[in-house]
Structure 1
Amino acid sequence: MMYNKIILAGGNGYLGGVLAQYYRGLAKEIIILSRTGKAADGNIKTLVWNGIHEGEWANALEGADLLINLCGKNVNCRYTEKNKQAIIASRVQPTSLLGLVIGKMTAPPKLWINITSATIYRHAEDRAQDEETGDIGYGFSIEVCRQWEQSFFETHTPETRKIALRMAIVIGRGDGAFPRLLNLVKFGLGGHQGDGQQYVSWIHEQDAARCTEWLMQHQELNGVINCAAPEAIKNTDLMRLLRHSYGVPFGLPSPAWLLEMGAKLIGTETELILKSRWVMPQRLIDNGYPFLFSKADHAVKDILSIRV
């Protein structure tokens, strides 16, 4: 099926690039809303916006088949008050702005997907967290997710179906957690982090993109949907898998106290490593989404086989 128009708000990052390439052969036009301009690349073009104010870019949303909002400052930083404010504002402001613009349109996007985060659930080592029975956690990162989704669902867009896609860690070659874990493995530091018993929920980059098209086709679905592979993996098993797949025979473990010291040095938070994220994509499973990669070893080997 050929789509008319796909909009990627804040789509100049890694996942936006994956989505743009996925839809390149499936849509007549792909429009990226970015703070910086860029020359057109075939049917992919960039429009400048600041995520705060209305502008001419709004006209591009008319008649779109799909709008995906990927806006948000990287959370891989220290949670200072300044960074906290920027992290929240960079998510809430563009979401509210898009809702305001869409609410005034005569032909608004048919589907609006807000890429939120699976970290909204509590630290879970006892059971998987699904959309219906999952427990919302506490702390700053959860508050970010809560405000983010609230700003999304409170927008009045009666002609546009809305889905908050709670994204797990994306396994791919671009920016993000996966390349950083690979770098640890390369330098002999690829042992488990903390006690290694924390779960890691993940999704292959191709499933992350493909499920957005699948959601377009399943018009009965809306609300919150977890975007994660069906089988989470413990940190110690993931690091062992990475070492084996990369051909590295050993990896020094990193105890929690050492991680805290390292996190301060490189300007990040240990929560990003030590929190147990055990997320179940129950709604995708119940509605028959066909995962390309449901097992971590298959996903890792696929990415490593095409690394550049």
Structure 2
Amino acid sequence: MKILITGASGLIGSALIQHWHQQHEIIALTRSNKKAKQFVASAINAVTNLAQVDFNAVDAVVNLAGEPIFGKRWTNKQKQRLCQSRWQLTEQLSASIIEAKSPPKVFISGSAIGFYGAQQQQVIDEDFAHLHPDFSHTLCHRWEQIALQASTEQTRVCLLRTGIVLAKHGGALQRMLLPFKLGLGGRIGSGKQYMSWIQLNDMVRLIDFLLLHPTLQGAFNATAPYPVTNAEFTTKLASALQRPACLPLPSPLLRLLMGEMADLVLNSQRVIPARLVAANFQFKTPQLAEALKATLTC
């Protein structure tokens, strides 16, 4: 297949390229000329503008681009940047797919479990309807609606409602490793809030699964089947690193440091991948302890 990937240099995108580059013809969209040269050096086709892509010749589009959600304080300007970096490119992709006479057969587009907004302890699958209208929900809902504009009889659209992706060299876990290795880790806030996670290899595998199963479309929770509380996550990570975890981070201090962005780690989302399970997708590391072991030893 010929596959266009946006966000190709990100955590998931780079892992996808590693997984696919010998099986498929990859076109990597990047805004950076430096990164484009790196892709070309790796025998990957690189483009810096969608105008360089013939969508009639593309079999699939995987859209993973967007300003990192976790990092900079959520000022009004940063919120706008987070939204536009997702919405604008997705709008361009949907328009290009619709305009093609022989469009891609599948459009796999990023989203996040932030779609559900802040929740409590209830289990959330893809049909969960009691959505909380906070910033994360607004961002993801609009993002999904724009992607769904590309849905036709010729093109199916799959939405990836992604949780915390566990990887050693990127993402949220990488930020946690140093304090935990120093014995300075601990639960965040009450520790009762649920964390919905997925190991990077399973994330890559499920995208491949959606690519290859032509009957699948709509929203999919890209999370492992067993979410855990923050307290349990903390305990298991400390155990995997053979370190103590006895320095909790109080909610007020976290909000002082991070502002509204603290909601990402203080709010609870107990999300399960019901539609993937129903489609018989098999997770390699469904339990947190084995996922951490696989991540930290890779």
Please indicate the TM-score interval, normalised by the length of the shorter structure. over 0.9
Of 247-256 and 286-295, more deviation after overlay is shown by: 247-256
**What is aligned with 2:48?**
48
CA contact (8 A) 1:185 1:251 kept: no
Aligned residue runs from structure 1 range 172-191, under 5 A: 172-191=167-186
Distance in 2, matches of 1:250 and 1:48, equals 44
CA displacement 1:12-57 (0-9 Å, x = unmatched) = 2121111110112221x111101012221444222112xxxx52x2
Deviations 1:103-149, CA, capped at 9 Å, x for gaps? 12122211110011011113333321101135322211111011111
Answering whether residue 61 of structure 2 is matched by residue 64 of structure 1, we say no
Equivalent residue in structure 2 for 1:30, among 26, 33, 46: 26
Structure 1 runs (4+) deviating above 3 angstroms are 155-158
Q: Secondary structure at the match of 2:4?
A: strand
Instruction: Indicate the RMSD between aligned Cα atoms, in angstroms.
Output: 1.6
When structure 1 is superposed on structure 2, of 220-229 and 154-163 the one drifting more is: 154-163
Structure ranking higher in helix proportion: 2
- Counterpart mapping for 1:243-258 below 5 A: 243-258=238-253
In structure 1, how many angstroms separate the alpha carbons of the residues matched to 2:7 and 2:106?
17
Kindly provide the amino acid, as one letter, of the partner of residue 87 in structure 1.
L
Structure 1 CA distance, aligned partners of 2:42 and 2:81? 34
Q: How does 1:1-308 map to 2 (within 5 A)?
A: 4-27=1-24, 29-37=25-33, 38-39=36-37, 40-49=40-49, 55=51, 57-59=52-54, 61-76=55-70, 77-155=72-150, 157-263=152-258, 269-306=261-298
State the alpha-carbon separation in 2 of the partners of residues 184 and 65 from structure 1.
44
Q: Measure the CA separation in 1 of the matches of 2:89 and 2:110.
A: 12
Amino acid at match of 2:9: N
C-alpha distance in 2 between matches for 1:245 and 1:132: 34
Which secondary structure state, in structure 2, belongs to the residue aligned with residue 8 of structure 1?
strand
Give the 3-state SS of the residue equivalent to 2:104 in structure 1: coil
Cα shift at 1:167: 0.7
- How much has 1:71 moved relative to structure 2? 1.5
Q: Distance in 2 between matches of 1:118 and 1:95?
A: 18
Q: CA deviation at 1:237?
A: 0.7
Deviation of 1:150 after TM superposition, in Å, equals: 1.3
Per-residue CA distance 1:69-98 (angstroms, 9 max, x = gap): 012111222221111111111111111101
Residue segments in structure 2 that go unaligned for 5+ positions in a row: none
TM-score, normalized by length of structure 1?
0.90
